[in-house]
Amino acid sequence: MNEMKTTERQMSISQGYRCIMLGLALLLSLCSWSTATAQEEMRFDSTPAYLPTIMVIPFAKEGVDWRDRLERDKVMRAAITAVREGFQQAGYSTVDLRARLRQLANDQAIEWGNQTSVKQQVIEVSGADIYVEVEPIITESYNGATGGVILTAYDAVSGISLANHTDHSPSFYTKQYERLVLKAAERALPEFIPQMTAGFQDMMMAGRILSLNISLASGLSYDLDSPVTGGDLLLAEVIANWLGENTLRGQYHLQGMTATKMLVDQLRIPFFHPTNGQPYRAYLFAVKLRNFLRGLGYDCDRDVQGNKIFITLN
């Protein structure tokens, strides 16, 4: 009798042990699944689907020569290098500004005396999605010297500001200002890069903003109020319908129109091209409109300046 009780007790203990082990295994499995899921969510939230290409440029007052400042200003060079390397470490592709300037050095079409024109042309040929302006600041006081950086990110096509941030290094008794600026950049980038990325992702969702100016050359036998051959609609109405079909969710605003001019002060296009998935640039939208008008029998030229499109009917 005692042996039977002992056996039953051992079986009960064994079953209880197996239940405990099964429960522990289930708990560990759930914890492992929860951790893996959290890690996946963290990677998804922290890594955007598309990383924009960045070009870091100096902030320069009107009339200041970029090339001269980059060659002479060691603090500026240190700041640009630090910010560019920070983006590279964060996984972003970057464009080398000095390499682009050397590439354009022999271009006779570049108006080097017009620094606004130089800036715009460098941005356009860079292929960057975003350009980041860097302004280093050195402040000296009885407590020592402090290095600072002002960072501002812009969409390379529309020029819209995506993020801005200012940060400073601690004060040191030193004349090695490059190190102070490096310290300021190290402190600024962990906050600036996520802010810029969020602004860029918002723009991707809302679309890029462009403007459109359609005008007529002198001496034409038609104008925007003339009916299109083979239909009852006026040319202006046909263009308006095309804009409604080819802008993002039909978003465009007609600022004004006369018989010889149509001004669209704001229209939105998808960030990615609807067919090839590549970034949708303003000049591609301009080419599409030009080809549409030529298909209707209207000869025209197009010009693109940043996010501004100019179509001239000839």
User: Lowest-pLDDT range, 124-128, 191-195, 265-269?
Assistant: 124-128
Entry field: residues in the chain: 314
Segment 283-301, tens digit of pLDDT? 899 999 999 999 999 999 9
Q: How far is CA 151 from its chain centroid? A: 14
Question: How much is the mean pLDDT over the chain?
Answer: 82
* Tens digits of residue pLDDT in 213-263: 999 999 999 999 999 988 889 999 999 999 999 999 999 999 999 999 999
By the 10 Å C-beta count (0-12 exposed, 13-18 middle, 19+ buried), 247 is classed as buried
Spell out the domain ranges in the chain.
54-205, 207-313
> What pLDDT sits at residue 8?
47
34 vs 117, higher pLDDT: 117
Look at 1 and 167; give whichever has higher pLDDT: 167
Q: Mean pLDDT throughout 190-213?
A: 94
pLDDT category of residue 48 using cuts at 50, 70 and 90: low
Query: Token match 């990325």: residue?
Result: 197
d(CA 186, CA 9): 67
Per the confidence metrics, is the pTM higher than 0.85? no
- Whether 51 and 92 have beta carbons less than 8 Å apart is answered as yes
pLDDT of residue 15: 53
The yes-or-no verdict on residue 24 having pLDDT over 50 is no
Give every strand in the sheet of 54-58, ordered side by side.
94-95, 54-58, 130-141, 144-155, 161-168
pLDDT band at 277 (very low <50, low <70, confident <90, very high): confident
The alpha carbon dihedral of 110, 115, 120, 123 has a sign of positive
CATH number of 54-205: 3.40.50.10610
Asked if 101 and 66 count as a contact pair (C-beta separation under 8 A), the reply is yes
- Per-residue pLDDT of 61-99, as tens digits, reads 777 777 777 888 899 999 999 999 999 999 999 999 888
Top-confidence residue, 226 or 118: 226
The whole-number average pLDDT for the span 145-162 is 92
